[in-house]
Amino acid sequence: MYGIDISEDMKKTASKRNRKALENNQLFLETGDCCNLPYEENMLSGVSSINTIYFWNDAVRVCQK
C-alpha cells in the first residue's frame, strides 16, 4: 500500500502509527502532491482519499487519471 500527503507532519504521524507495516514493507509513505503523483502509469489498482479534495489544486484533472 502506498500513502502520499503534502504535509511532512502528517507523514511523520502516519509513520509512527504504522511502524510495523513500514518495517515489513507493506506500506510506503511519501510526501508529495496528489495532483502530480510520482508513480508509474497503471501502477495503482485503486485510490482512496479522505477529507482532502478541497486542498487539491486541480481536482478534476486528478479524478480523470
> What are the extents of the domains in the chain?
2-35+47-64
pTM equals 0.75
4-51 per-position pLDDT tens digit: 998 999 999 999 999 999 999 999 999 988 878 778 888 888 888 888
Q: Is the dihedral of CA 45, 40, 42, 63 positive or negative?
A: positive
